[in-house]
Amino acid sequence: MMAAPIEFFFDFASPYGYVASHLIEAVGGRHGRAVIWKPYMMGAVFKIAGTGPLMDYPLKGAYAACDMARTCRLHGLPLTFADGFPHSTLAPARAFYWLADRDEGLAKRFALAAYDAYFGAGHNTGDPAVTGEIAAGLGLDAGEVLAAIQDPAIKVRLKAETDSAIERGIFGSPFFIVDGEPFWGADRLDQLERWLASGGW
Amino acid sequence: MMAAPIEFFFDFASPYGYVASHLIEAVGGRHGRAVIWKPYMMGAVFKIAGTGPLMDYPLKGAYAACDMARTCRLHGLPLTFADGFPHSTLAPARAFYWLADRDEGLAKRFALAAYDAYFGAGHNTGDPAVTGEIAAGLGLDAGEVLAAIQDPAIKVRLKAETDSAIERGIFGSPFFIVDGEPFWGADRLDQLERWLASGGW
């Protein structure tokens, strides 16, 4: 029997999700676990969880800016924010699921390229044209992707994925579940990996 | 010239502060850094920071309960919450500063014993009698300590320490500053230690 996969929940406007996107496949690979990528709309959880965008908090927001930059430097990742960050992440999240239904590996490459565009190059998550350019960079037809993300079915799909994530208690990004155990934050990848290596404690 | 110390800010009602209290002196010791312990009243920061007690948040609170227990098990620390947790931490925080002005090492031993009483044995931070028992366990005169924490001067002292922490941007527990660099959370001790080992990045 195959070992259960790692579920990787994230929002495309999450800098720590960006960090995790560059680390999680290697963690899975070292322990024989597939990784299922699951973007969701973290904005939908803020009201339920009584939280808000991290950077908006006094004190905590200033620290987070320092910590995100330091964490990215530690992992050799550039970090640039789009003007007016954060913006909507509907376009890349819908494009992801449309791609995932056709080719899961391609969808993951899209997600990584999207994160690099948003936080490496400082592009705007909310601009569908950027989603089209990311798709084109992977050899896809940008027009087809942009049409697909306007399809009511894909809108319903993303909403269902988001509702499902919230029902399962997910409130942040990145968030991982494996073997029923939840891990929140790029800084829980060490515990997640120990868990996989040891079978838990 | 002595290397600058690590400042360790914490609240006695913080489970992650309890974890850090058992780890931070070894981190400092490995890198020739003294550690200055600085309890403060995290409740005073909630309004300013727009935050609240971690366990009170929907979704996040449930995860935190799981994560705190898992993190304590990882470090071999028991974890028990007092009924009605969290309670006021005025008594141990005031006792700490009263002791620190007399013997910093004794004050640290008091803080460790207090954390073990609160999270190891599930005693109530808000009950001054518990503070007296912890002090007595260290060979101190419980009555003298209980009288000391009612001294207006020590009340002013704790308020000043708390105001100073907030002015310096501190909003959580544990929170560390070393060489001007801030680190929030027991889960940032790995970055803090890398920082000390490498001189930063």
What is the structure's pLDDT at A47?
87
Nearest to B49 among A59, A171, A184 (CB): A59
Cβ of B63 within 8 Å of Cβ of A184? The answer is yes
- Residue with tokens 């290596």, as numbered in its chain: A197
Residues 6+ apart with CB under 8 A from A39: A9, A10, A11, A12, A89, A92, A93, A96, A97, A111, A158, A161
Structure confidence by residue, pLDDT tens digits, B38-64: 999 999 999 899 998 898 899 999 999
Q: How far is CA A15 from the centre of its chain?
A: 9
Alpha carbon of A149: minimum distance to chain B alpha carbons (Å):
30
pTM: 0.96
Question: Hey, are the CB atoms on A57 and B73 less than 8 Å from each other?
Answer: no
**Beta-carbon count within 10 A of A26 CB:** 11
Q: Is A120 exposed, middle or buried (0-12, 13-18, 19+ CB in 10 A)?
A: middle
Is residue B2 very low, low, confident or very high in pLDDT (cuts 50, 70, 90)? Answer: confident
For residue B172, the chain A residue with the least C-alpha distance is A60
**pLDDT tens per residue, range B103-140:** 999 999 999 999 999 999 999 999 999 999 999 999 99
pLDDT the model gives residue B1:
61
pLDDT of A2 higher than 80: no
Q: What is the pLDDT of residues A83-134, one digit of tens each?
A: 999 999 999 999 999 999 999 999 999 999 999 999 999 999 999 999 999 9
Token pair 């400092």: residue: B28
pLDDT, one tens digit per residue, over A132-170 is 999 999 999 999 999 999 999 999 999 999 999 999 999
Comparing CA positions, the residue from B161, B87, B158 lying closest to residue B119 is B87
Tell me which residues of chain A have a C-beta less than 8 Å from any C-beta of chain B: 45, 48-52, 57-60, 62-63, 66-67, 70-71, 73-74, 166, 169-172, 181-182, 184-185, 187-188, 190-191, 194, 201
* ipTM exceeding 0.85, yes/no: yes
